A and B are shown apart, each in its own frame.
Chain A
Amino acid sequence: MNLYAVRAIYSFEMARTFRTMLQSIASPVISTALYFVVFGSAIGSRMTMIDGVPYGVFIVPGLIMLTVMMQSVANASFGIYFPKFLGTIYEPLSAPISPWEIVIGYVGAATTKSIMIGLIILAVSFLFVPVTIAHPVLMLCFLMLTAISFSLLGFILGIWARSFEQLNLVPMLILTPLVFLGGSFYSIDMLPPVWQTVTLFNPAVYLISGFRWAFFDTADVSIAVSLLAIGVFSAICFAVISWMFATGYRLKN
């Protein structure tokens, strides 16, 4: 394992993150604050408790997940697409490193960034509502697993994309609906039965449900199923990336 190379990629990407930290943090923090004002206070005050949790508190895990998923995909896809676009990707591709070391470097940096943002949003939510965390360690695990698996998805997207339009289109057309319909703002059993069934095909549901369980000890689907869903999702991403590297897909002629 070429540890110096992984470290070099990781710290180079993190340096980029820190240089643009203000803008990368400002926008998720502001939008989260807005969600709290609109959903938490304005609408939430008219809502009943969900599973014994006030609505303002109920949306905290969902909001964090929403942001972490979107950020992971955005960071990881940009992280690999940008060097591809500039042509600087020639260097990692001609360096004595394995494809998976490249993945660890880039995906690791993207994951770190989105976890940091997730934690900042959690900290911000403490300012608005009295949040309690039933299983703090498992909460962190879920956060990490989600960040990693969605960063892998972003990495795939970044290698696949041939233009900035494509890079933006996929998150907008596919990811946003999945994530919004994943139960960030509601419990699945608030939906009509048909939609409850449809929802079960949405991977975001399992992640958000599991994450919420770590906070409130109640969940839409069982925690084991949630973990299984993350596992399957990650495995698919790994398989796709392996295939991409094996065939040189959009990287090597």
Chain B
Amino acid sequence: MPPIIDVQHLIKSYAGGGRALDDVSVEIESGEILALLGPNGAGKTTLISIICGLTRITEGTVSVGGFDVVKDYRKTRALIGLVPQELMLEPFETVFETVSLSRGLFGCKPNKSYIESVLSQLSLLDKKDAQMKELSGGMKRRVLIAKALSHEPKILFLDEPTAGVDVELRRDMWNVVTELKQRGVTIVLTTHYIEEAEEIADRVAVINGGKILLIEEKDKLMKRLGTKQLRIELQAPITTLPDSLSDVDVQRADDGMSLIYHYDVKAERTGITSLLSTLASEGIVLRDLQTYQSSLEDIFVGLVTEENK
């Protein structure tokens, strides 16, 4: 299937500013959950705003559902629901009125029962007639989500949905997201937190300084995350690995002064004990042992610092 969102060589320069997006290309598959991971000012909101039509493109193309977001904006925007990063709501309007307005704006016939079902899914039904100014921050966040879902979109953007949100709302939100995914909705969320991307995403894109540094299946990333390194420093260097270690994933390093062994922490047997006893029986004397885990955080920090050099 062609990607539902196709961004090609996208460049965005704000007036008087540098490049907020620098030759970004991303293809987002229909039905997936993509986490856009990046530090402040990385360009996450800018990318989303361009796809939604809130910000103008400097160069490049963006298509949604096979249609160009500039030329065919009516078709592309009708597919999209956006939950913005900031809590922007009319203080004197009621929850129900505000959500109904959103549905109308997106060209849908009024449908009271659908809106009520969205509100109840977000535990807002009892606040239906409350004015925005009477709601807490977390409730306002829920209203923004309800607005975005009011027209049954095929694509949902969540721009930092968990900012200022408690554990309970976060759980509710992930439930909603999971349910939407089951219905085939494509979800793009931005976050600063790696755990969040791990928790919910199918794929993770790391963005910094307006560039996509990496985009990969989360499971593959997690596999890297799941492997650990054991570094064995030796008393005396060895020139070759003994034959008894030929079918073990171990390499010589530092001119034979140490050995590096990769193992899966989640596996039933890590193979460390047998490795150590083989080494002992070969008469190899150890000086020190270190284990090292490459987390998504490391991958992320590595990518970002490399970029900033």
Chain A interface (Cβ within 8 Å of chain B)? 2, 4-5, 7-9, 12, 15-16, 19, 82-83, 86-88, 90-98, 248, 252-253
Contact = CB atoms under 8 A, between A and B. Distances in A.
Contacts of A83: 90
A97 B88 contact: no
Contacts of A97: 74, 105, 107
Contacts of A87: 84, 86, 88
B62 to A, nearest CB: 13
A104 to B, nearest CB: 13
Contacts of A2: 74, 107
B188 interface: no
Most central of A12, A93, A97, A253 by chain B CB within 10 Å: A253
26 contacts: A4-B104, A4-B105, A5-B105, A7-B104, A8-B101, A8-B103, A12-B101, A16-B92, A19-B92, A82-B90, A87-B86, A88-B89, A90-B88, A92-B105, A93-B53, A94-B52, A94-B80, A95-B77, A96-B75, A96-B77, A96-B106, A97-B105, A97-B107, A252-B55, A252-B56, A253-B14
B167 interface: no
B103 A96 contact: no
B55 A9 contact: no
Nearest to B109: A4
Instruction: Give the size category of B's interface with A.
Output: 35 or more
Instruction: Give the dominant DSSP class at A's interface.
Output: helix
Interface of B: 14-15, 52-56, 73-78, 80, 82, 84, 86, 88-93, 97, 100-110, 147
Contacts of B56: 248, 252-253
Contacts of A4: 104-105, 107-110
Given A5-B104, A5-B105, A253-B56, A91 B147 contact: yes
Nearest to B87: A87
A252 B54 CA distance: 6
Contact of B84 (A15, A90, A92, A95): A90
Given A248-B56, A252-B54, A252-B55, A91 B105 contact: yes
Contacts of A5: 104-107
A35 B113 CA distance: 51
A94 B78 contact: no
Given A88-B88, A96-B78, 9 more contacts: A8-B105, A12-B93, A15-B97, A88-B89, A88-B90, A91-B101, A91-B105, A93-B54, A252-B55
By Cβ-Cβ distance, the 10 closest A-B pairs, closest first, are A8-B104, A87-B88, A95-B105, A96-B77, A96-B74, A94-B52, A96-B78, A2-B107, A12-B101, A4-B104
A9 B155 CA distance: 23
B67 to A, nearest CB: 11
Contacts of A93: 53-54
Contacts of A7: 104
Contact of A86 (B90, B103, B105): B90
Most central of A4, A95, A248 by chain B CB within 10 Å: A95
Contacts of B92: 16, 19
A194 B15 CA distance: 48
Nearest to B157: A94
Contacts of A15: 97
Contacts of B74: 2, 96-98
